[in-house]
Structure 1
């Protein structure tokens, strides 16, 4: 019976706990047993604090027995991404020296504990959360529960894999370049990239441990196996109920813009076909789905996003690397003048070494494009768009410059194309909810994102839940876990 509860979403697990059909200790032991069963194959959870977790679970059970008031997540076993500090489980971000220190709870972790969650493990991430695959020299490679030869995505790849493998029902991840949405798409689960600034970033590594900086572009958000669970956890992480007014759950009142065409963004035919079929399902359910062209001029946005992103990532680079990049600025400007792509090595060299004046210019572009988006959201409740240009791809640990993405029809595209579809929401600080769109023709999950206006988090999550209840929701991996 406990194993059956473990397969359900967090809301159902919490209902079972409240009804005393299962205890917090029993549910924690079940989660740990599932971790042990799947660890050798998936390698999702890479650090465990069993003693503290068991003590916490017993305390919750005792409080429940005595009829004491309990938090929203009371007794629920949870894991968190290994970029978030936790007492007894400092964030390693894939680096040994970061693991060997004392740490306090990150703000997000503290809020989850305050709500009664039983934090028991950390999920794997690439080094400094800097890849769309999840592997590092400290903990190794995390595999996709749908196909162990393929990546679960990154950088919240361990989190998404743990959800799909029934090891956890709720996760806290982060996103600066698709790190919540890409793994959700590759593993067939849900995630929400909040409006920038909605969730406190303190205790996230990077930046350096102890920093109070609320980094531009980066966000911390929930991951789950249902949209209603996203709403639950986000209400905890933001420190109160969602302030945004949610739309009616009747899909007949939803106005959705379908964005599948951008000349500079290649898209695998399988991904396109899956999202088109999903859009047809939404239309059949009564939603008003309207195809649109790119909502803003995407080459302009990508140029600004590269500078904004490079300024953040460059801060974490060794001084010697930055000096080398500074010496390459002349070459990079020459390459860009010759028409190099906004995601090229030359563009990134300029982005990593941007001056404050250059950053200010990019920020001004962002402000103008965000203003343009207000007109789009005057006509539509949300934009439905791809998350990734391909489905989950085979593990590839070569240097970035040697990696390529290959579509189902054999076409190659740059690895940095992974930045394309996620860039709009990230660069403009907009909320985006990743939802399962269905399996591709090859049987792999395809996710889509619902992009909304600034502070429209509640509206996107309510729409995602309406879709979940009326069209389609989470599907477990086809292979046995």
Structure 2
């Protein structure tokens, strides 16, 4: 009964948006207001913001474009799962009144409609993280990152879908069902930020804020053909992200929050809003990220890591990397394909140990005791042994693993003394088949006809996760069947603007991404 009622609320909200979009005021919006494009909602966020500030369109008119598009396109995608049309209209109207009265925008995101991953708490707006246990959870305060969005003038339209407690590489849950890939409904949108990535790709939102521990932001971006930035660890406050449970003040030391967008430039726009100290530190600390290391692509020193025996990539992905290397060289950039900052297999194993360890924080006492007992009976190199031993490691063992992580960070720093960025595959393949109906232990992927472990999808993404490095995933081509293909750009710690800048340079030379069919609904 709870599930049926939850789905009814979501569907009713979308239907209400469609009904409101048929009003005369909304018809004016669809006509483009005072000369604005009727499809402005599909434009880059910076273009929308410019139109808002020029007052060629109002925030309310732009919002109505979004609500109409969501009503048409979202039922097939299932990306936006909680819609707050009334709250968004009130915020848009307030933004319009403020601009009319003062002539000044509220902030960098003045009047811009956007969505937020359903793992981030939103004051007065249901936040479930896809869990039946949180069906009725309505937070009393915003996550720190959401508060920054609102302070910058953003209009929060609704929440986007996630797997239960963000614990899958595909996006489905008992409350809202499965989010579809906007290019092919038989393929996954990825996870755990599958709803955000699909929504951005299909034009249901200008931007979204997702989260990334084990590639949860970058994997969906790769599969849905959009841009994502995993910022340097620690520069975006994470309080208010689920998991951990509501009310917890701490998060995993490997979790970051970051932007999803349809252009690299828009990543930088949202990064400027999100990057800040936690409120408790704001009295003394500031986040002032350095400018990109170089101004011209020709001046960059680029490392390229095309493939590795530990996690081979398929022919389509290799061809995309080949083309990126060709473009870099033709632009005059220095390209090095020989040096490797770390060993992929060893780095990934350490990543997994630290990830499983941090996930144990919220285990029940009884559940953790069962894991401890099970770990005593299973060798660390047996199936499931790495998970159990890492999850139940003693604090001394964690300190040793953390020391190994710091040594790894030192090797990366040495590499970036002679290289500005490293380009790698984002994933072994394009979006894999949706397997949400299959138990996780039975899932797998296929790479050039070879059956491979399900979690190989994130092996390349895991390079950056535990060592706090910024990493951009960007669309770089597509398969013969039209699925997006992506590459990853990893940079030095706190050089977030450098990886964004390289993505911008490459985007100018790569074919423009093809919009998914859902964006035309």
Using the TM superposition, give the Cα deviation of residue 135 of structure 1 relative to its aligned residue in structure 2, in angstroms. Answer: 0.3
Q: Distance in 1 between matches of 2:246 and 2:270?
A: 24
Q: Distance in 2 between matches of 1:415 and 1:331?
A: 25
Q: Distance in 1 between matches of 2:81 and 2:496?
A: 31
Matched residue of 1:62: which SS? helix
Show the counterpart of 1:387.
426
Counterpart of 2:477 (choices 438, 457, 463) is 438
Q: Distance in 2 between matches of 1:220 and 1:372?
A: 25
Q: 1:33-48 counterparts in 2 under 5 A?
A: 33-48=68-83
1:259–1:178 distance in 2 versus 1, CA, 3 Å? same
Using the TM superposition, give the Cα deviation of residue 415 of structure 1 relative to its aligned residue in structure 2, in angstroms. Answer: 0.6
Q: Gapped runs of 5+ residues in structure 2?
A: 1-31, 277-285
Show the counterpart of 1:252.
298
Using the TM superposition, give the Cα deviation of residue 269 of structure 1 relative to its aligned residue in structure 2, in angstroms. Answer: 2.0
Show the counterpart of 1:271.
317
Show the counterpart of 1:129.
166
Does the CA contact (< 8 Å) of 2:200 and 2:226 recur in 1? Answer: yes
Q: Distance in 2 between matches of 1:311 and 1:475?
A: 40
Does the CA contact (< 8 Å) of 1:196 and 1:218 recur in 2? Answer: yes
Please report the RMSD computed on the Cα atoms of aligned residues, expressed in angstroms: 1.8
Does the CA contact (< 8 Å) of 1:285 and 1:470 recur in 2? Answer: no
Does the CA contact (< 8 Å) of 2:182 and 2:189 recur in 1? Answer: yes
Show the counterpart of 1:225.
262
Deviations 1:48-103 (A, max 9, x none): 11221111100111111123422110010010000000012242110133241331
Of 79-88 and 417-426, more deviation after overlay is shown by: 417-426
Q: 1:93-172 counterparts in 2 under 5 A?
A: 93-103=129-139, 104-172=141-209
Q: Distance in 2 between matches of 1:421 and 1:469?
A: 24
Asked if 1:350 corresponds to 2:389, the answer is: yes
Q: Distance in 1 between matches of 2:142 and 2:385?
A: 39
Q: Distance in 2 between matches of 1:359 and 1:64?
A: 52
Show the counterpart of 1:81.
117
The TM-score with structure 2 as length reference comes to 0.87
Does the CA contact (< 8 Å) of 2:469 and 2:493 recur in 1? Answer: yes
Does the CA contact (< 8 Å) of 1:24 and 1:76 recur in 2? Answer: yes
Q: 1:371-450 counterparts in 2 under 5 A?
A: 371-397=410-436, 398-407=438-447, 409-450=448-489
Does the CA contact (< 8 Å) of 2:301 and 2:334 recur in 1? Answer: yes
Does the CA contact (< 8 Å) of 2:306 and 2:318 recur in 1? Answer: yes
Q: Distance in 1 between matches of 2:127 and 2:254?
A: 20
Q: Gapped runs of 5+ residues in structure 1?
A: none
Matched residue of 2:515: which SS? coil
1:318–1:396 distance in 2 versus 1, CA, 3 Å? farther
Of 270-279 and 162-171, more deviation after overlay is shown by: 270-279
1:399–1:323 distance in 2 versus 1, CA, 3 Å? farther
Asked if 1:282 corresponds to 2:319, the answer is: no
Does the CA contact (< 8 Å) of 1:266 and 1:413 recur in 2? Answer: no
Show the counterpart of 1:467.
506
Using the TM superposition, give the Cα deviation of residue 315 of structure 1 relative to its aligned residue in structure 2, in angstroms. Answer: 2.5
Deviations 1:441-460 (A, max 9, x none): 43211111110111111211
Of 282-291 and 469-478, more deviation after overlay is shown by: 469-478
Deviations 1:253-284 (A, max 9, x none): 11111112322112222212222222212322
Using the TM superposition, give the Cα deviation of residue 478 of structure 1 relative to its aligned residue in structure 2, in angstroms. Answer: 5.5
Q: Distance in 1 between matches of 2:271 and 2:516?
A: 25
Matched residue of 1:191: which SS? strand
Q: Distance in 2 between matches of 1:41 and 1:372?
A: 46
Aligned length: 473
Show the counterpart of 1:65.
100
Using the TM superposition, give the Cα deviation of residue 356 of structure 1 relative to its aligned residue in structure 2, in angstroms. Answer: 1.1
Does the CA contact (< 8 Å) of 1:257 and 1:290 recur in 2? Answer: yes
Does the CA contact (< 8 Å) of 2:314 and 2:428 recur in 1? Answer: yes
Does the CA contact (< 8 Å) of 1:247 and 1:463 recur in 2? Answer: no
Does the CA contact (< 8 Å) of 1:187 and 1:445 recur in 2? Answer: yes
Using the TM superposition, give the Cα deviation of residue 352 of structure 1 relative to its aligned residue in structure 2, in angstroms. Answer: 1.7
The TM-score with structure 1 as length reference comes to 0.94
1:254–1:148 distance in 2 versus 1, CA, 3 Å? same
Using the TM superposition, give the Cα deviation of residue 300 of structure 1 relative to its aligned residue in structure 2, in angstroms. Answer: 2.5
Q: Distance in 1 between matches of 2:459 and 2:509?
A: 30
Does the CA contact (< 8 Å) of 2:232 and 2:493 recur in 1? Answer: yes
